[in-house]
Structure 1
Amino acid sequence: MRTLILSALLLGSSALSSMAAGPDAVELAGLYYYAEQKQEDRLAAETNRLRLKYPDFVVPADVYAPAARQMDEGVLWALYEKNDFVGIDAEIGRKRVESPEWSPSEDFSGKLARRKQRVEMTAATARKDWMGVIEAAGTLDPSSETEVDLVWMLLDAYAETGARDALTGAYRGLLFREGDKRLPDVQILTTMKKSTRDFSSEEVRKAMRLVATSPALQAGLQPVELDLTRKDVAGFNADEKRQTPVAEGEVAVLRTTAEKDGRLEDLSLLGWYDLKLKAPESAERWFKAALAKRRDEENAKGFYLSLAAQNRQEEAYAVAQDYIEEFSDDPEFLMNALSLRFSRPDQPDADVRTVTAYSNAILSTSNADHAEILAWYAYNARQYDAARAWFGKSLDWESAPVRVKGLALSLLRLGEKKDYAALEAEYRDVYPEIWTEIKVAVAPKGEKRSVAVEMPTAAATAPGGTGYLAHFKAKRFGACIKDISAMEARGAASADAMLIKGWCHLELGRLAEARNAFEAALGNARTQQDAAYGAALALLRGRLTDDAEAMVSMYPLSVKRDREVRAEIYWQRARSAFDHKQYRRVLDALNARASLVAEPADLSQLRGWSYYHLGDRGQAQAVFARLNMHLYDPAAARGLAVSSTR
């Protein structure tokens, strides 16, 4: 449990000094510039802006007087309007060559520093460089900052980096200002809405009670209250151990809103909520409404489960078939959804698409129970070769007497006396009770099923467990490769076998061979994603960074795998750039990596030294100081010492 909650910290805020009565010199600088340039429309707009901010503001009498400007900064202001900071530096340098004693006015320097800060924070936010946002914010004070959107950027950065104390302090500074510095209601509402992401519902509600000082603001906070209900319902749905539901008064408001607005996220939330509460009829209604808006895998799963919970198995099975491609991403769910067709004798024959999907799901999960179900399905259909393969596979994954019995019966029906004898010799002492039953068992009757039950990968392993999959599972990588190579020589190596061959070569450090095997499996839709992932890893281990990036760009991976591969790509690029003294490229690569995964200390050191070599000692010092605060490290301490020396 957090030791400090938002409301407790907020209550400790003290009164702040009142806001200045009028604009300072920095704010007036633009007014003088527009007057000097005779840009009357810009002058009028700036005047209106200042009057909105300072109701008693009067335009200075000398605004058009030549004495109002002590130096010609017209070019600088023009470049300022374009955010051309390089051009500004060049112009300042040119002026100093002409007049060494000259320096920009305090008005311009102050306004330029703020504009640079905004540009840097906005750019860092866009690329999700959260440490960059914090560093660019510098001494920005949430309790007095007038440009509130800058503080909102800082809130995002604190939230993403886990800086809880700083995050809470920033919220306190925004929400609990007093007097003239109190935020307008619209900004309070936006800030409260953001807080629902960062704090518990209880903490946010306590803060809401403190800031909602008017009926108008209380009414405006109703959407925030609804967001908190959504958060509470989502938390209940996600917590498997939690059984106490959300207060019905809260949920009733969400139900009414969902009925009225039909927001997809609300329909889905309520569907899973009612399903967990064992109200499948209500859940079915929500999921059906959600699917009417958009075809979606998760809502289809909820719809299937709602129907199954009502024992409407045929309707549930129809949903599984309709979403068979989407459910393939979750083979465990797909197996259970399709197994009805294979586990009960009163069911119609499964079609080719269903058999293939079920088979692939079984192989991807190595599920012995479902392999056994499919094996008996094939056996009773008098497809004895397929039955032999699937019984062998289920036995390879998990031994059981019924699986040995099924394999033995399949061998008998095929007339494979030698293999039957070897199987009996191996298992007679393990399962002695099954052999008498096997010898008197009657062959299945009825017509052979029209759809063949095939093994998508190579033939099942022999009863002794000596196939390539058995070798792979036992980490006998050399033997695994030898078996698959023999299959290749016969022209019988499947895409699945080539995928396994790639992993074996990779485990043995044979990078070129691994790459070749993985690329051979890229042409099959079922193995393509795994093959692309394996090929990318092989390329990265060989430091072929660009080739690895091309691979994952051509063959998209899952979100988790893509993040893993790209993080390694950016790390290799950062290391290479540092070795070649290309320090700006180092920072670009590290920033890209930090948008994907957390940055460890060794990479932060690389960041600090890159800033140092680029001459940005302030940034370098900030990085090394942060490292030194969390964990003393001689390298970080040395970096801090060097970057602090002028």
Structure 2
Amino acid sequence: MKHLSLKTAILLAATALAPMGASANDPLVPSGQPSLLSEEKPADAATAAPAAGPDEVDLAALYYYADQKQEDRVQAEIARLQLKYPGFQVPKNLYLPLAQRSVNEQSLWDLYDKNDFAGIDAEIGRLQAAHAGWVPSEDFSSKLERRKQRVTMTTATTAKDWTGVIAAGEGLDAATEPDIDLLWMLIDAYHATGMKEPLAEVCKGILFRQGDRRFSDDLLATTLQKAAADFSGEEIRAVINALWPQPGAVAALKPIQDDLLRREVATFTADDTKTQPLSDADIGRFNALAATAQGGADFAVLGWYNLKLGQLPAAETAFSAAMEREPTLDSAKGLYLSLSRQKRDADAYRFAVDHLDVLADDSTFLMNALSPRFSKPELGALDAGTVAAYSTAISETQAADHAEILGWYAYNSRQFEAAEAWFAKAWSWQEKPERLKGLALSYLREGKKKQFAALRDEQGDRFPELFKEIGKAAPPRGDRGVTVAKPSASTGDAGYIASLKVKRYDDCLRDLQRLDDRGGLSADAQLIRGWCLMGLARPSEAKSAFSAALQGGKASVRQDAAYGAALAALRSGLTGEAEAVIGAYPVGAARDREIRGEIYWQRARAAFDDKKFDQALEALNARLQLMPESSDMSVLRAWAHQRLGHKAEAHAIFQRLSMHLSDPNIMNGLNTTGATR
């Protein structure tokens, strides 16, 4: 079967559904493209639904002629039934004696209602032993196969066994299948496994039916919601417009219309190439949507939209509403920028100070928000919490410019020891004359003549004018101000950070060891030590370093350390330990999925090697709940099914893989399962 793109199907459906008198210029009616129309035409109402199968009255003549052994009439009646009911199959019990055909099947139906398939097999054996030549009726046999398929697909969906869902639903025709929930299971399975093309085929089969075969609006809307994650907003809107002439009047479409609007606003905000604002009507609707939604996410999206357009009061209002509902870093940054860009610096600063805990996870942003008060203390008094937050952010980011600002604040408030420490740190991170000047002045004010002389001897030839200025500088006269703590011994050692960045792991560890010898390592430094050890493939030692980092530092450091400890455990094959780490410490949603995915993959391989094939499938199924499955994992899944005797499932997986991969292992599996099915 030739697959059409979703856009092609939209055009075809639009052509078929266009009202009488539709213009050739209508954007949904393809102009000058007869090949599209001839490639695949939507079925009309007369042919949309195949006729139901024959009932007992229709079959009565066929059975009568068979009982009378009138073969010519039997064949003529079969031909009539096949013409009337396309796809009609001759009943298996057609030539059985009447006594055998009249066996009471109630016991089978009772077991059928319980989904007791093993019991059904046993009961059929018992009845066949009592009635030689008897076989179950066509009605029961066909319904039993259908029930088995439904139970298999439902069980696999519950277990997130997506390849099992796909294998069980292989025979479903999306264009004619009456039970939409089975097709939804297939959509979920194709989405989870990243199989976009068959997903599109199922969606088109559901959406573009006509006449009596068309599903209700709420079922079609649910289908579109399931498809939305895999297709663009333009494609989804095109489908909506093709299926519903007035989509605004269809209540079932509101949730998906809301989601599409969210996507459109967010896309405009994130894409610098987009400059055309949304319509006033759309933004008005999005305002109403944000006001009724749970949490503040919609208000935050609206705030960034207004900020991009330069509508600063509107942005402030939106971000304020977002912060009231759910204080997040994203909303806090947006509200600060809204105030700052309105030249309301005092309000912006006060907001930052009131939300130091929220802004702490973006050290660079926090430093930029706080630094004006340090460089211009006349703007207003500082407090201890602000100074501590600024110092911490500088230490974490090795921000030389901000270390210099803090050094001058300490110097001008006559805290010369702290000034010396921060100027020295700033100079070590990045050498600039003003930092050298601050360091030299601090030495003078502290009476450290030997240190000053040594510094002048070392740098005097490079900066002769600077040292002339220093000799003329008057002492500061400002108030003492808020106490500034000196940076810790482990603060921002640029050497080991630089070594890690360029993968000089041995140098990194030597620098850290020297730092450790001088007074211990901070949580941040232990974190770096862990990554350097990981770079040298020493996961056991790295795990110890990450564990030490977990004992201190701010939340983001602990989160990184937990992630590192889990990875180190996995490198050592300790899946249980890795699972315990991410169970005890948050690592973020994406990292959690990554770690759990690797845990399940290691367990699946270990179980397969131990010939515990059912456990291998359980681990693969658990992993598939988190992320799509790679081809090598699907190969392992197929072989596990084959070892367990699930030949049909294994063959279906190998067959799917062989369609886009050329691999001897896959071909071997295809031949093995095909020969034994």
Give the Cα separation in 2 of the matches to 1:586 and 1:536: 21
Alpha carbons 2:218, 2:253 under 8 Å: kept: no
User: Normalising to structure 1: TM-score of the pair?
Assistant: 0.81
Give the Cα separation in 2 of the matches to 1:426 and 1:110: 94
Q: Where in structure 2 are the equivalents of 1:394-413 lying within 5 Å?
A: 394-413=426-445
Match of 1:373 among 384, 392, 405: 405
Give the Cα separation in 2 of the matches to 1:450 and 1:523: 29
Partner of 2:529: 501
Partner of 2:340: 308
Deviation at 1:337, TM superposition (A): 2.6
Partner of 2:548: 520
Give the Cα separation in 2 of the matches to 1:200 and 1:219: 22
Alpha carbons 2:445, 2:475 under 8 Å: kept: yes
Alpha carbons 1:291, 1:299 under 8 Å: kept: yes
Partner of 2:24: none
Alpha carbons 2:651, 2:670 under 8 Å: kept: yes
Q: Percent identity?
A: 44
Alpha carbons 2:192, 2:624 under 8 Å: kept: no
Deviation at 1:174, TM superposition (A): 1.5
Q: Secondary structure at the match of 1:621?
A: helix
Give the Cα separation in 1 of the matches to 2:101 and 2:553: 73
- More divergent stretch after superposition (288-297 vs 567-576): 288-297
Deviation at 1:381, TM superposition (A): 3.0
Partner of 2:237: 205
Partner of 2:173: 141
Deviations 1:391-419 (A, max 9, x none): 34434443433333333433444455555
Deviation at 1:271, TM superposition (A): 1.9
Q: Note closer, same or farther for the CA distance 1:91–1:122 as it changes in structure 2 (3 Å cut).
A: closer
Alpha carbons 1:392, 1:460 under 8 Å: kept: no
Partner of 1:596: 626
Q: Note closer, same or farther for the CA distance 1:481–1:616 as it changes in structure 2 (3 Å cut).
A: same
Give the Cα separation in 2 of the matches to 1:460 and 1:401: 20
Partner of 2:482: 450
Q: Give the aligned residue type for 2:430.
A: E
Question: Larger relative CO (CA 8 A, sep 6+): 1 or 2?
Answer: 2
Q: Note closer, same or farther for the CA distance 1:545–1:230 as it changes in structure 2 (3 Å cut).
A: closer
Give the Cα separation in 1 of the matches to 2:301 and 2:491: 44
Runs of 4+ in structure 1 deviating by more than 6 angstroms, as ranges, are: 23-26, 66-69, 100-103, 260-263
Give the Cα separation in 1 of the matches to 2:447 and 2:134: 102
Deviation at 1:551, TM superposition (A): 1.3
- For the pair shown, which has the larger CA radius of gyration, 1 or 2? 2
Give the Cα separation in 2 of the matches to 1:411 and 1:436: 15
Q: Secondary structure at the match of 1:339?
A: helix
- Structure 2 residue 354 is matched with structure 1 residue 354: no
Alpha carbons 1:390, 1:460 under 8 Å: kept: no
Deviation at 1:277, TM superposition (A): 0.8
Give the Cα separation in 2 of the matches to 1:262 and 1:565: 30
Partner of 1:54: none
Partner of 1:299: 331
Deviations 1:623-642 (A, max 9, x none): 22222222212222222222
Q: Secondary structure at the match of 1:301?
A: helix
- Structure 2 residue 636 is matched with structure 1 residue 606: yes
Alpha carbons 1:545, 1:569 under 8 Å: kept: yes
- Structure 2 residue 638 is matched with structure 1 residue 635: no
Deviations 1:31-90 (A, max 9, x none): xxxxxxxxxxxxxxxxxxxxxxxxxxxxxxxxxxx999735563x65555455xxx5326
Q: Where in structure 2 are the equivalents of 1:538-617 lying within 5 Å?
A: 538-617=568-647
- More divergent stretch after superposition (510-519 vs 233-242): 510-519
Deviation at 1:181, TM superposition (A): 0.7
Q: Note closer, same or farther for the CA distance 1:426–1:558 as it changes in structure 2 (3 Å cut).
A: farther
Alpha carbons 1:574, 1:587 under 8 Å: kept: yes
- Structure 2 residue 322 is matched with structure 1 residue 322: no
Deviation at 1:581, TM superposition (A): 1.1
Match of 1:625 among 655, 666, 675: 655
Alpha carbons 2:336, 2:348 under 8 Å: kept: yes
Give the Cα separation in 2 of the matches to 1:211 and 1:165: 21
- Structure 2 residue 208 is matched with structure 1 residue 176: yes
Q: Note closer, same or farther for the CA distance 1:106–1:508 as it changes in structure 2 (3 Å cut).
A: same
Q: Give the aligned residue type for 2:11.
A: A
Which consecutive unaligned segments of at least 5 residues does structure 1 have?
27-65
- Structure 2 residue 186 is matched with structure 1 residue 154: yes
Q: Where in structure 2 are the equivalents of 1:228-239 lying within 5 Å?
A: 228-239=260-271
Deviation at 1:645, TM superposition (A): 1.5
Give the Cα separation in 2 of the matches to 1:589 and 1:272: 42
Q: Where in structure 2 are the equivalents of 1:28-43 lying within 5 Å?
A: none
Give the Cα separation in 2 of the matches to 1:129 and 1:361: 46
Q: Give the aligned residue type for 2:570.
A: L
Give the Cα separation in 2 of the matches to 1:387 and 1:225: 58
Give the Cα separation in 2 of the matches to 1:400 and 1:88: 81
Q: Give the aligned residue type for 2:312.
A: P
Give the Cα separation in 1 of the matches to 2:606 and 2:194: 30
Deviations 1:509-537 (A, max 9, x none): 33333222222222215242222222222
Q: Note closer, same or farther for the CA distance 1:379–1:23 as it changes in structure 2 (3 Å cut).
A: farther
Q: Secondary structure at the match of 2:275?
A: coil
Q: Note closer, same or farther for the CA distance 1:98–1:171 as it changes in structure 2 (3 Å cut).
A: closer
Deviation at 1:279, TM superposition (A): 0.5
Partner of 2:121: 92
Deviation at 1:361, TM superposition (A): 2.8
Partner of 1:337: 369
Partner of 1:32: none
Alpha carbons 1:9, 1:169 under 8 Å: kept: no
Deviation at 1:316, TM superposition (A): 2.2
Q: Give the aligned residue type for 1:569.
A: I
Q: Note closer, same or farther for the CA distance 1:94–1:205 as it changes in structure 2 (3 Å cut).
A: closer
User: Normalising to structure 2: TM-score of the pair?
Assistant: 0.77
Give the Cα separation in 2 of the matches to 1:263 and 1:488: 45
Q: Note closer, same or farther for the CA distance 1:481–1:279 as it changes in structure 2 (3 Å cut).
A: same
Alpha carbons 1:458, 1:493 under 8 Å: kept: yes
Question: How many residues align structurally?
Answer: 598
Deviation at 1:550, TM superposition (A): 0.7
Give the Cα separation in 1 of the matches to 2:626 and 2:247: 43
Deviation at 1:356, TM superposition (A): 3.1
Give the Cα separation in 2 of the matches to 1:422 and 1:472: 32
- More divergent stretch after superposition (470-479 vs 329-338): 470-479
Match of 1:532 among 562, 565, 590: 562
Give the Cα separation in 2 of the matches to 1:603 and 1:582: 16
- Structure 2 residue 286 is matched with structure 1 residue 254: yes
Q: Where in structure 2 are the equivalents of 1:5-44 lying within 5 Å?
A: 7-8=10-11, 10-11=13-14, 12-15=40-43, 17-19=47-49
Match of 2:300 among 263, 268, 286: 268
Give the Cα separation in 2 of the matches to 1:474 and 1:416: 38
Alpha carbons 1:389, 1:459 under 8 Å: kept: no
